[in-house]
Amino acid sequence: MAATSKDQLIAITGKEYARLTALIDEIGETVALAKDGGGTSIKDVIGHRAHWIELFLGWYRDGQSGKAVHFPAEGYKWNQLKAYNAMLREAQSTLGWADAKALLKNGHEQLLAFMASKSDVELYGGPMEGANNDWTPGRWAEAAGPSHYRSAGKYVRARLRTPGRA
């Protein structure tokens, strides 16, 4: 069930981040960099999650300042996520495992700071500016943080059970 208040959002974000980091903290670089059958590694998934936090925070800033909000990113439409994610993997291809984890930690800290700086009304009082849908900033933050942490954890657990698959 989605959070509906600042306190719930912060709590679920902390809980899901702790679960993910407990899982990835024990993974060595060799395992983290190994590609699955689709060419994706655990490192790629963690770097991806960090990037999407950055995207969300940019969307929010742009909407608040009256700028055009590019969903998911400038030059891409939602139905082009596969191409966008491939471009992101290529852009992050030289990123090491320690760097990917550091990016996630930094993104998480920025996301928590964002949440802490907002009121319930700012997070859940209405649609996010520039989003062109009914999702509140709190809902977008949950999608960028705890929802992505859960899906990353699911991917990592599957990879650890069956290396090379997932």
Give the total number of structural domains in the chain. 1
Alpha carbon 39 to chain centroid distance?
A: 20
Q: What is the pLDDT of residues 88-115, one digit of tens each?
A: 999 999 999 999 999 999 999 999 999 9
Q: What is the pLDDT of residues 112-156, one digit of tens each?
A: 999 999 999 999 999 999 888 999 999 999 999 999 999 999 999
What CATH number is given to the structural domain containing 120?
Answer: 1.20.120.450
Q: Which domain holds residue 148?
A: 35-161
Residue in 7, 10, 91 with CA at minimum distance from that of residue 55: 91
**Residue 45 resides in a domain:** yes
**Residue 86 resides in a domain:** yes
pTM of the model: 0.93
Strand segments (E) across the chain:
none
**pLDDT band, very low/low/confident/very high, at 165 (cuts 50, 70, 90):** low
Dist. CA 49–CA 55, nearest whole Å: 10
